[in-house]
Amino acid sequence: MSVTDRLDDKSLFRTDSFIDGQWVSGEGGVEVLNPANNAVIATVGDVGEAGARKAVAAATRAFESWKKVSPFERARLLMNWYKLIHENAKDLATLITLEMGKVNKEAQGEVIYGASFIEWSAEEGKRVHGETLSTPFPGSRGWTIRQPIGVVGCITPWNFPNAMITRKCAPALAAGCTMVIKPAPETPLSALALAELARRAGIPDGVFNVVCGDAPAIGGVLTSSSDVRMVGFTGSTAVGKLLMKQAASTVKRVALELGGNAPFIVMDDADIEKAADGVIASKFRVSGQTCVSANRIIAQPAIADKLVAALEARISKLKAGDGFASDTDVGPLIHMTAVSRVDKLVSQAREQGARIVTGGKSLADELGGSFYAPTLIDGADPSLDVSCSEIFGPVCSVYRAESEADIIKLANDTPYGLAAYIYTNDVGRVHRLSEGIEYGMIGINAPMVGAASTPFGGVKESGIGREGGKWGVEEFTELKYVLLGGVEG
């Protein structure tokens, strides 16, 4: 079945870049694969460096008028976009499942989650205001204003091809910025469908541009152009570091949402069944391909075996399959390279004496796509790659630590610091552990933390800046201070 056969609104299937309100075809083409069967579903043109320059020029021109549009009018247009996304949620979710394999119910959840940032930001954009200041200068008055930072370049990943765009663009547009978005080559279709809906919503030409193609070429323009004042990126820590270096040449603001290696701490007073449910929700969503996925389950020894048994019972029942099948729990990985990478991590753990409790093998041949079996490992050494690197697959390992000091040390023994989870009913432990671990977001007895109203982001090598809530909108503004002298009285 072709992509359009699956869509109610066939005009949401776009394969050209969207620049200055026009669909622009590119050179050659990048193939988009359905990871559930590795079939080519679309070919998207590469607009390259020239396309990126054209989009930056359009966004620069559009900024002059968009920044003057009242926040109330910007909110109205954003809410048009929000409503269109809701009306087309089924098709948008279909595109997500097709291009990156996500279980369709989760894809529908992503569309609604992504849209919630538009609604929140539309409202919050009306509340961007300054303060009056006390000054030491006689006869003077001081105040601050917040203004949109300008043109923002956005580079987004494939794991949330819809929501990672709205989570950046909604606050930026609400604040009065204009955007050039480079989606992941694996998932351009979701980005282009969002562009089509932004166009229908009445968002003016040049305000929201999507450029597809060669990542280093487009990224080079977005990070080096002096017309781009900020780069927002979600993706790997390695690419984040590179973009930060490139952005240094023009001292751009960078907002980076990078990798994670989330600890999931289970204390001996916790409800073990609820903790096991929490691991499943946190780890196996998007087949473990989220930066906030629980990677390392750190359990106190008294309850560790019971937790392993509870996890085994759940994980061994998870069904891998096509994201469109109604009984699928875990979809495919993004591509076969990801399957090989995950299998290498698991094989190394096995060779080094860890016990593979369940799973531990590729299902690619069996299921005909980029599948890996949901896997539980027990007794892996914390120095192994499966413990130290971001797994980005349906694999988790259980570690044991007794004292709070050892638990905190193990949890912090990583360059990452994005999300962490703690299961305990002891209020003292809640405070000591959440203060002791170095993470930007902590879920206590809660396996998912992200929402439009809350600050999403990490510390250490997990990133810079926050998305969501009032902080998400502030990121896209400059704080300006004004002093007025010669005031009588």
Does 458 sit near ligand ADP (CB under 6 A)? no
Does 216 sit near ligand ADP (CB under 6 A)? yes
CB proximity list for 50: less than 8 A, separation 6 or greater: none
Does 254 sit near ligand ADP (CB under 6 A)? no
**Which one of residues 79, 112, 145, 242 is an interface residue with ligand ADP (CB under 6 A)?**
242
Amino acid at 234: T
Q: How far is the CB of 203 from ligand ADP (least distance, A)?
A: 22
Within 39-98, the residues that bind ligand ADP by CB under 6 A are: none
Does 340 sit near ligand ADP (CB under 6 A)? no
Nearer to ligand ADP, 77 or 165 (CB): 165
Does 176 sit near ligand ADP (CB under 6 A)? no
Quick one: which of 42, 24, 99 has its CA closest to 370?
A: 99
Does 451 sit near ligand ADP (CB under 6 A)? no
Place of tokens 């080559």: 185
Q: How far is the CB of 233 from ligand ADP (least distance, A)?
A: 7
Nearer to ligand ADP, 156 or 462 (CB): 156
Nearer to ligand ADP, 52 or 401 (CB): 52
Binding region for ligand ADP (CB under 6 A) out of 143-151, 236-244, 356-364, 402-410 = 236-244
Does 191 sit near ligand ADP (CB under 6 A)? no
DSSP conformational letter for 125: G
Backbone dihedral angles phi then psi of residue 41, each to the nearest 5 degrees: -110, -15
Binding region for ligand ADP (CB under 6 A) out of 84-92, 212-220, 308-316, 340-348 = 212-220
Nearer to ligand ADP, 219 or 278 (CB): 219
Amino acid at 156: T
Does 157 sit near ligand ADP (CB under 6 A)? yes
CA–CA gap between residue 25 and residue 19 (Å, rounded): 10
CB proximity list for 271: less than 8 A, separation 6 or greater: 423, 425, 445
CA–CA gap between residue 423 and residue 299 (Å, rounded): 10
Binding region for ligand ADP (CB under 6 A) out of 65-73, 214-222, 296-304, 353-361 = 214-222
Q: How far is the CB of 295 from ligand ADP (least distance, A)?
A: 15
CA–CA gap between residue 247 and residue 224 (Å, rounded): 6
Does 215 sit near ligand ADP (CB under 6 A)? yes
β-strand pairing of 419-423 with 294-299: unpaired
CB 460 within 8 Å of CB 240: no
CB proximity list for 427: less than 8 A, separation 6 or greater: none
Q: How far is the CB of 241 from ligand ADP (least distance, A)?
A: 10
Q: How far is the CB of 151 from ligand ADP (least distance, A)?
A: 16
Catalytic residue of the set 291, 390, 396, 467: 291
**Which one of residues 55, 154, 184, 437 is an interface residue with ligand ADP (CB under 6 A)?**
184
Amino acid at 252: K
Does 360 sit near ligand ADP (CB under 6 A)? no
Is 291 known to be catalytic?
A: yes
Binding region for ligand ADP (CB under 6 A) out of 166-174, 177-185, 370-378, 418-426 = 177-185
Q: How far is the CB of 338 from ligand ADP (least distance, A)?
A: 8
Binding region for ligand ADP (CB under 6 A) out of 29-37, 161-169, 180-188, 408-416 = 180-188
Quick one: which of 158, 142, 144 has its CA closest to 107?
A: 158
Amino acid at 431: H
Amino acid at 239: V
CB burial class (10 A; 0-12, 13-18, 19+) of residue 217? middle
Catalytic residue of the set 257, 390, 467, 475: 257
Q: How many residues bind ligand ADP (CB under 6 A)?
A: 13
Does 263 sit near ligand ADP (CB under 6 A)? no
Does 236 sit near ligand ADP (CB under 6 A)? yes
CB 119 within 8 Å of CB 451: no
Does 448 sit near ligand ADP (CB under 6 A)? no
CA–CA gap between residue 98 and residue 359 (Å, rounded): 25
Does 179 sit near ligand ADP (CB under 6 A)? no
Binding region for ligand ADP (CB under 6 A) out of 85-93, 233-241, 275-283, 481-489 = 233-241
Binding region for ligand ADP (CB under 6 A) out of 54-62, 153-161, 318-326, 404-412 = 153-161
CA–CA gap between residue 113 and residue 93 (Å, rounded): 12
Helices and strands in the chain: count of H runs, count of E runs: 17, 20
Is 257 known to be catalytic?
A: yes
CB burial class (10 A; 0-12, 13-18, 19+) of residue 204? middle
Helices (H), 43-180: 48-66, 71-87, 89-100, 104-124, 163-175
CB atoms within 10 A of CB 169: 32
**Which one of residues 59, 103, 239, 433 is an interface residue with ligand ADP (CB under 6 A)?**
239
Residues that bind ligand ADP (CB under 6 A): 155-157, 182, 184-185, 215-216, 219, 235-236, 239, 242
Q: Would you name the residues annotated as active-site residues?
A: 257, 291
